[in-house]
Each structure stands twice: as structure tokens, then as C-alpha cells.
Amino acid sequence: MYLVASDSLQDFLFILPPSLEAAGLPEVFPYPFHYEPHPVAKYAAGELVRELEKGLDLRHDFGLRNPEASGAIGKMFGVLVVRTSDGQLAYLRAFSGKIGGEYHQPGFVPPIFDLYGPDSFYPSGERALNDMNARIASLEARPEIAESRRRIRQLQKYFEDALAEQRTINRERKKVRKERRAAAAQLSEAERSLLEKELSRESVAGHFAVKDLKRRWKEKIKQAEEAHATILEEINALKAARKAKSANLQNRIFSEYRFLNARGEFRDLSQIFRETPLVTPPAGAGDCAAPKLLHFAYRHGLTPLGMAEFWWGKPPRNALRRHLNYYPACRGKCGPILGHMLEGLSVAPDPLQEPMAGNLEMDIVYEDDDLVVLNKPAGLLSVPGKQIDDSVLTRLRKRYPEASGPLLVHRLDMATSGLLLAAKRAEVHKELQKLFLKRTISKRYVARLSQDVRGDRGVIDLPLRQDYLERPRQMVCWDEGKVSRTVWEVLEREEKSVVVRLEPITGRTHQLRVHAAHPEGLNAPIYGDALYGTRADRLHLHAAEMSFLHPVTKVQMKFHYPAPFYDGKPG
């Protein structure tokens, strides 16, 4: 059902049942980069999902019916729950980027700026750049350019051959001079003096022959290169003009992406990203669902209440996206934009920056004069954060004020519980870190996965790197990723999940979480993984076992601390 409020709203605004309001609405707008969608936002998202499941005609498969088809890939969709000016509860729909090459789809809010719209300057600018590309390609294909390059390579080969020949002549003549000097012992002193002068003149002549040869050939090559550069002058001028035109066109595009905030203030992409480390907006900035939804709401006097974004369809190979899972807004592209757009709106604080771990107990499992083994509870940082000081390291420094060095030898994610190793002395810390570098410290984790897996054991090799646009997420990357290896084994199959033992051979950030969730890994996110799966009471990942050679006593140490979420043994 559509709300016909005005010509510009009638195809975009969907009314929600009044009963939802009676059940309660969000008190503040969610923190967009880490949140669980409010039930009313999930209801709105569910309505969109049902239409997609019925075959909403978007002229795109999203890789659901034919996953192997070229270009088959899913899409991020979003809904924004709003209050209309006349008090009704409704929602808007959006998708990120384009669908089937189109920015516009019926029932979805329009883009901030349509590159190919009827009044857009971009098509003519794109045609001009394409014409320049064609002209450059035509000039570069001229036969005289290839001949000029061939001539330079030929001269360089002639020079190398001539130089090698002259040096061979000089070596032979040097050998003869050496023989003549040896035979000069029978000559008089005057004759030897005359011979030495002759041989010296010959040696100098050989030296200058090499110098003259280099000078002559380098001059020939230089002339050929200058002739080649003259031929390329028109091409280089065209390339410089193309670069300037492309930059101007891009800057003009950035200026057209103008975003409203709750105060009614506009800022364009260039202004927003100029104050960030990126400086230049990344590709696709401004085309995600969240900015489009908020901008449309502000333009039409709608009050944003809640939001939900979900993935529909086949996941991309590098990024971890699962069909129908909810995801927060991306930090790289949307972070700076939403930072502006949410000004003037009451927004919930970042839950990751709230001091939630103040009452969590940190158990000391073992300690001696050299080191400490402890159990970190889920929710406690390993080291202080930007806004949260409470952490394992903070507590250790208070507990052992006389300790020297960095103390913590390694870290666990805030959401992960389990065994951590610390050193009381700097020299012990150094030796323990050497053990980590040599991979002689063994660590085993227990994890509950959100679904069953194929097989009972195996090894996962998926290279990882940071997802630069969505920190702190990591991603699988075969081009730039670092080698990452995990050994796994099923401990117990439960009714709707499976408990596994995970042993990281390497120690990359989020390695176990990504290797579990990725389709080419276990294809089963760890239960409660808000980054790579679905949020729950906690992340069901626990560092249960650790073994290493004590750096001072040389005794083999082995520790076990049971997972709070699993009663069985780690295997």
C-alpha cells in the first residue's frame, strides 16, 4: 500500500501497520556501523524480502537461480523507517549502487545523483573522454611509432655488440703487452724504456677507444630517442589533456553528490572526504543504500526512526556477505558521509565504545616469577581502546606495578574469550615473542558454528588482508592477502549447530572468524559473530588450550580453560 502524500512521494513511501507503533518504536536512531535492527525495521525489511521472494521484477537474478552466470552477484538492500509530517509510520526502500546497470527501480528511492539522467553533464563528458581514448589509440597504432621503437632497440643492440668487441680487442692486446714485457728482460735498459712507453701508449689508446665508442653510440641512441619523443609529442599532449579533463569531470561529479543532514545543511563529497585520511572519495561513495535513504527522507520532511540493511543473493568472492543477513553501513564509503548526514539527529552511541566490561572478572590460571597465563572474558579488550581504558593490559599493570616490558605477548578480540599469555619481565616477553614467531606456541580454540559443515576435519588456506574500506573487517584476497592457515576438527554435532576445534597455524587478525564464515572455508560463521555472521548473546569463540616451552625453566607448559558455552572437552 502506498501513501499518496505528494507526486514525489507516492511511489516511494510505504505505510506500516499502526499496531507496530503500539509495540514500541526506536528511542533513538541506531548507530549505523554497529547495531541490531529494531523489530519495526525488521518488519519493514521483511515486507521487502517477501516481495523479492515473490519475484519482484528488477530484471536481475542476483545469482540465486544461476550462481555460475557471468556477473551473477547479490546486492545490499535497505529500508528506513520514518515518521511522516502528518504523523504516520512508514518506510522507504533503497539498494546500493545499480541494478542491471540502472540507478532507478520502481518503488526504490532515487540516487543522490544520476550520472546518466536526462539533465546530466556526464554522458557528454564521457563521450569526449572516449573520443580522446580512440584518438590516442589510433596515434599509438601508427607504424612509424613501432619502427621508431625498433630503431632504438636496434641501435642499443649494435652498441652492446660494438662495446663487447672493443673490450675483447683490448683484452687480447693487454695479453700481448704482458707477454712482450716478460720477453723484455733480455733487452737493454734503454730498449726496455722505449718499449714501456710504446705499450703505455697502446693501453691508453685502448681505453680511449672504449670511451669514444660509448660517446658515438650514445649520441646515435640519443638522437633516435629524441626523434621518437617528437613522434610521441601529440600523444603525450592528448594524454595530459585527457588526465585534466577526467579530473575535472570527476570533481564535478563529486560536487553533484550533495548530502542533506538533519539540520538542513548540504555538503558534497569533496567537502566531506577532504577532512579524512582518504582525501579523495572512493569509487561508489554516495551510492550505498543508507545515504540515499536518509537524503530522500530529509528532502521530503520525513523523520528517520530506524534502519535495516540486508544482503540479497550470491555473495562476492572476496567480501563475506550471506543471503538475508543484516549488515551495518560500511565505514569506508559511508562513514564520513553518514557522519555529516546524522548531525542534528539523536543517534545511539557506538556500542563497541561503551564501558560494558567493567564488572567482568579476569581469572589468573597460572603465574610464576616470569609469566602469567589468564582467562580473558568475552567483552573485555586486550589493550585499551580509543574511548575505553579498561582492558587486560590495564588490569595487569595495576596488578603487577613492578613488571617491566609490554606485558601482553599476544591479544584476543574483544568478543573472544580464553587464554592469554603475559610476561612480567621484558627479557621474558622477548623470548616468548620469539616462540610465537617460530610458531612453537600452540593454541587451540573451541567454536560453535551457526550451521553444520562438510567433513569432520581439514585445513583451510585462505589469504587474508584488511578490508581498507570496512575496518576492522578482514577479507580474503588472493592478490594481496597474507598466507593464513587453520587446522579444524569437529568435536560435536548439535541439533542446529556444530562445535569445532580450531588451531591457527598463522595468527592473522580475525583469521578464525573469516575462515569459518567464508564459502571457501567452512561456510559456517561462528555463532554470534556480528561482523561476519549474525549477532547473538556473545561470540562463541574461546581460546581453550595453550602449550609452550617455558623460556626460563625450559619446562613444557600446557593449559586448558573450558569454554563458557560448551561443556565438552576440546579434543
Residues assigned a catalytic role? 413
Contacts (Cβ under 8 Å, ≥6 apart) of 515: 460, 462, 484, 486, 488, 502, 521, 522
- 317 with 63: CB under 8 angstroms? no
Residue 410 backbone class (left: φ over 0; alpha: ψ -120 to 50; beta: rest): beta
Which residues, listed in sequence order, are joined to residue 535 by a DSSP beta bridge? 528
Alpha-carbon span 17 to 21, nearest angstrom = 8
Buried b / exposed e over 202-238, threshold 16 CB at 10 Å, is: beeebeeeeeebeeebeebbeebeeebeebeeebeeb
Give the separation between CA 422 and CA 408, rounded to whole angstroms.
Answer: 4
Contact by Cβ (8 Å): 331, 273: no
Residue 530 has which C-alpha cell?
A: 556480528
- The rounded distance, in Å, linking the Cα atoms of 127 and 180 is 77
**Distance separating alpha carbons of residues 271 and 279, to the nearest angstrom:** 9
Distance CA 524, CA 210 (A): 70
Q: What is the CA radius of gyration of the chain?
A: 35
- Kindly state the DSSP code that residue 482 receives in the 8-state scheme: B
Q: Cβ contacts of residue 369 below 8 Å, gap of 6+?
A: 424
